[in-house]
A and B are shown apart, each in its own frame.
Chain A
Amino acid sequence: MTDIVEDTIDIHPVSFAPEVLARISPELSLQRHLSLGFRPSLKGFEEFREVELNEDHLSRYGVEHKDNSIIGSNVLKCGKTFVVTTITGGIIEDSTIYKNEENELISLDDTKKTDLTNYTSVFPVVEVERGRAGACTDEEMTLSQKIYDSMLHSKLLPKSSLKIEPGIRITDDDGTMEIIYSDESKQHSAEENSFKTNRKWSYLLYAKIKVFSRTGPVFDLCWNSLMYALQSVKLPRAFIDERATDLKMTIRTRGRSATVKETYDILSDSSKQYPLNLNKENIAFASNYGTITLDSEAKLTEEADEEDIDMDAVETILLADLDTESEETSVNTTLSIISNDKGDLKHVSILGGDANISPDNLRKSILLAQQRAKDLKDKL
């Protein structure tokens, strides 16, 4: 019995390596870092990660000619995260959008420029690679939808930019084929007039956005990569074969009246293309911010007996460009801003959490978003 009492027991304080503590208690790890004046990623509070671009090396119109169906692309690297955006296209027949209430065809220029229905968006699919296959996650769905909505509302892509003016491919007697576009040649006006249809076609743009090595929220990276990719998009010219232009099919089904439907096979010209016409003044870049309340108890003080810390004083700080797991889980008041270099805002979303968003912090983040947009714009 006495042996036990006399035995001294050493209690060693358990200490963890910073990266281990970050996994066990991300909140504490973050607060410790912040109290020292920097973030777990060793960035300053309002410091952004550097962005590197690899412009359009993937598309068929890119730096190296390739034989694929990608019409615009971008690879963006930010910190450890890679975002690869590839844009492909499709053709649809428009049956509704160019008609007014009396079912008359109207030109797009007649409708008000301000109407949101005159604008469209790309159809994005965001994939965040996590090393496992399966159905898409909620994060991926939310990201895709947010990109679609933000682009539509920023009025960047007018529907008129995607309108197709199809050419006609004619075959001469000696078998040589030639494609005639009405706006390019005047001598073939006879052929051009012979082909008239009130059918309208337009392009659709699909964006496939792949994210590799995700370390934090990725909406801003995906958006910025899409902005660069869109600026590299070239649309191929499209044409109809002359044999198809006077195609008429009558469908009769035993007494029942059926609609007569002509089918046109629209083909894309592999040699002629034109750049996508964007509303350049509406190009804007995204950035994200978070606010967090400093926990005075988590402070690492030099002298342990320094007891005059005001426990009631709440200090809220603004962090720019959220990254790392500890920031993502602990900072639940977030701001996402899409702004151009002149400070015109296209989208602001605030999700409130524990920490308060003061007007000052909101102003500061808008200013930072403007500066960030300027930096990103100059990268092209």
Chain B
Amino acid sequence: MEDLEIETGYLSQVDGSTHYKTSSTTVLCSITGPIEPKSRQELPTKLAFELIVRPAMGVPTTREVAIQDKLNSVLKQIVVGYLYPRQLCQITFQILEAGENVELFDVKEIISCVNAATLAFIDAAIALQSMAVGVVIAVTYGDELIIDPSNEIMQNSKSVHGLVLELVDGSQVVKNVLLLDSNGDFDESTLFKVLQVGEENILKLSKQFRKLVETKIQKSLNN
């Protein structure tokens, strides 16, 4: 996770945005909201979401609909929805580099989108009750766990896992598992090992995120 490049406030015409680049995957996330929804989107008691995922190549397909579905269930958990009744939050993800064989995987894109969205929510100053931070873990045939694997490793690995945890109390306490997307060939003990190693790495990554937010706020205070 050393070669992570993150820039928040990347776009000027939206309320919050993040340019998120890992060693292989790049996504651009923009958030507009709270804004006035169309009447069919409006929810009487909480914030409504409109999520759009655009692929790196071609037009959106069922694959992007499935990614949207997973992202939606993660992101609606961390936002304090009741603060914005009858309002809409529009979240758009543009995948710039998938970093994986799009015919076989979607997990690296999902995890990058979640991380980018968490930071974009902070940039958009939308109230959050927790942070959602995720990692991708591949388990090789030698039972070795690899964090943020390359496409080649994923294609030849025994199983691939995407994990997103909900962090509270200064990102030090894990409140819940928001998303686990495990595919391949594995057993219970491997799954628990993945959860454990994933937790350690997510806590490390969240420290990096908090530092980034801190510097950004410091900078805006100084101006």
Residues of A within 8 A of B (CB): 112, 114-117, 138, 141-142, 144-146, 149-150, 152-155, 282, 332-333, 343-353, 356-357, 359, 362-363, 366
State whether A351 and B70 are in contact (beta carbons under 8 Å apart), knowing that A344-B185, A346-B185 are contacts in the complex: yes
- Judging by beta carbons under 8 Å apart, are B179 and A352 in contact? yes
B188 near A142 with CB under 8 A, answer: no
Would you call B187 and A145 a contact (CB within 8 A)? no
Q: How many A-B residue pairs have CB under 8 A?
A: 96
How far does the Cβ of B162 sit from chain A's closest Cβ, in whole Å? 9
Which of chain A's residues has its CB closest to B165's CB?
Answer: A352
B133 within 8 A of A: no
On chain B, the number of residues with a Cβ less than 8 Å from chain A's Cβ atoms is 37
**Interface stretch (choices B58-66, B85-93, B120-128):** B58-66
Which chain A residues lie closer than 8 Å to B66 at the CB level? 141-142, 145-146, 149
A115 to B164 alpha-carbon distance, docked (Å): 26
B interface residues, Cβ below 8 angstroms from A: 62-63, 65-66, 68-70, 73-74, 77, 101, 104, 106, 141, 154-156, 158, 160, 164, 166, 175-188, 191-192
| Best-buried of A112, A282, A343, A345 by chain B (most CB within 10 Å) | A345
Determine the chain A residues whose CB is within 8 A of the CB of B184 once the complex forms: 153-155, 346
Q: Which residue of chain B lies nearest to A146 when distances are taken between CB atoms in the complex?
A: B66
The distance in angstroms between the C-alpha atoms of A154 and B70, with both chains bound, is 20
Tell me if A353 and B177 are in contact (CB < 8 A).
no
Would you call the interface of chain A mostly helix, strand, loop, or mixed?
Answer: mixed
Q: Which residues of A contact B183 (CB under 8 A)?
A: 149-150, 153-154, 346-347
Q: Which of A347, A357, A363 contacts B182 (CB 8 A)?
A: A347
Q: Which of B62, B177, B179, B186 has the most CB of A within 10 A?
A: B62
B177 touches A343 (CB 8 A): no
A366 with B62, Cβ < 8 A, contacts A350-B180, A351-B73, A352-B176 known:
no
User: B141 near A343 (CB under 8 angstroms)?
Assistant: no
With A and B bound together, what is the CA distance between A349 and B70 in angstroms? Answer: 10
